[in-house]
Structure 1
Amino acid sequence: MPRKTLHRLLPNINEVLKRSKVKWLKSLASDRNLLQINRHSVSIAVFIGIFTAFIPIPGQTIVVFAMSFWIRANLPIAVAIVWLSNPITIPPLFYLTYQLGSFLTGAEPIDFRITTSWEWFFTVGEKILVPLMIGGAITGLICGTIGYFLVLQFWRFKVKKNWQHRVIQRRTTKKNNTTIN
């Protein structure tokens, strides 16, 4: 079952709380919805993580924390998913979302070269912000929804497979018990 795999991979919350540097997490642990591993909380966490990864804002982890608290999704999984968008993957993701946003808003995509100056940010940033946000939100909604349903389907598949395995085990145990008697 996916729950057993996730329990094996994720750290035990009681052990984490015993560490002196993370005592502030005790208030987090009081809300068990944020740490439960079940089909609903994990699939919602995947949606939140993927959706937020496509939104071009600084502090995506803070947004994931807030959304997970609000919706009561599994916080560690949502944070892990949003961390998949890193400095290496962000430029191609944001370029594609900018192109999509430009297409959807009817704005002419500009050929821009990123420079690290405030002047560039205030002149070009103003022109690309709206298409980038719209493209990111649309892409995040689509990819997050796909991720949500993939997790649900995978979870159901694993549960069904485990139940079938149990039925087979019961039948073989029953046959072995009847042949011994």
Structure 2
Amino acid sequence: MAKAFIRRYLPTPEQIREMKGLGFLRNRLSDPSLWHLNRRSASWAMFWGLFCAFLPVPFQMVPATAIAIVFRINLPLMILLVWITNPLTLLPFMYSGYWLGSHLLDVPMLTWHQLEHLATRALHMSDAPVDAFEVGLLQQLKPFFLGSVVLGLVLGTIGYIAMRYFWRWHVVTAWRKRLEARLAQKSNDISAQ
């Protein structure tokens, strides 16, 4: 079944409970619906997991866990999907989000020199006093934020639909195999008589 195929790649409840950064959510992880895997929970986990993966915020596992708890959907699959954006894949996804946002807002893409300057300013914002915050920085990051959210929504929707179809295909295939096995058994019984 689809459950067995998906469960092979998911972390166990114990592994997730031991993850750092969950804090106050750790005691809510005993809800059995967070660990139940069916078509509904897997499909919604695909949507929310991919959406949270592209959120332009640090610690994306925390909102993903909160969403899983509130909507009672499969947590391990969501956590697995959130890690699509990891330190190795982060730059291509950030660039894709910025590219999409700049096209949606119809603003020109930044040059490499401008991106380097923007990154330097963003990294040193914590060192500067609050009144030194530049409004231009927020304006330059607006395409990135918009593009990341839209990219998360689009990929989450595609993931939701793909999981629904994958689950249905897997169930129908299993039904057909069982039907063929029964028909083969019935024809063997008839020929044996």
Distance 1:135 1:27, change over 3 A: closer
- Asked whether 1:131 is paired with 2:137, we answer no
3-state SS in 2 of match to 1:139: helix
Moved more, 51-60 or 3-12: 3-12
- Asked if 1:118 corresponds to 2:124, the answer is yes
Deviations 1:58-105 (CA, angstroms, capped at 9, x unpaired): 111101111111222110110111111111211111112112112222
Aligned to 1:171: 183
Moved more, 136-145 or 101-110: 101-110
Do 1:53 and 1:85's aligned partners in 2 also have CA atoms closer than 8 Å? yes
How far off its partner does 1:10 sit? 3.8
Alpha-carbon distance in 1 for matches of 2:50, 2:11: 22
Report percent identity of matched pairs.
33
How much does 1:25 deviate? Answer: 5.1
- Distance, in Å, in 2 between the alignment partners of 1:153 and 1:21 is 33
Contact 2:11 2:76 in 1 (8 A): no
Which residue of the partner structure matches residue 90 of structure 2? 90
Letter in 2 for 1:171: L
- State how 1:24-43 maps to structure 2 within 5 Å: 27-29=28-30, 31-43=31-43
Q: Deviations over 1:121-140 (max 9, x none)?
A: 95564233221111111111
TM-score, length basis structure 2: 0.79
1:100 aligns with 2:100: yes
TM-aligned CA deviation for residue 155 of structure 1: 0.8
Shift in CA distance, 178/25, structure 1 to aligned 2, threshold 3 Å: farther
Name the CA distance, whole Å, in 2 between partners of 1:117 and 1:26. 34
Q: How much does 1:109 deviate?
A: 2.9
Q: TM-score, normalised by structure 1?
A: 0.84
**Does 164-173 or 89-98 show the bigger shift?**
89-98
CA contact (8 A) 1:54 1:140 kept: yes
Contact 2:55–2:148 under 8 Å retained in 1? yes
Q: State the number of aligned residues.
A: 175
In structure 1, the residue matched to 2:22 is: none
8 Å CA contact 1:98–1:128 kept in 2: the answer is: no
Name 1:147's counterpart in structure 2: 159
Distance 1:21 1:58 in 2: 19
5+ long unaligned stretches in structure 1: none
Gaps of 5+ in 2: 20-24
The answer as to whether partners of 1:51 and 1:144 remain within 8 angstroms in 2 is: yes
The one-letter amino acid of 1:146's match is I
- Do 2:12 and 2:76's aligned partners in 1 also have CA atoms closer than 8 Å? no
Q: For each residue in 1:19-56, what CA deviation from the matched residue of structure 2 results, as whole angstroms up to 9, or x when unmatched?
A: x968x956412x22211111110111111111111121
Give RMSD over aligned pairs: 2.6
Q: Distance in 2 between matches of 1:57 and 1:161?
A: 40
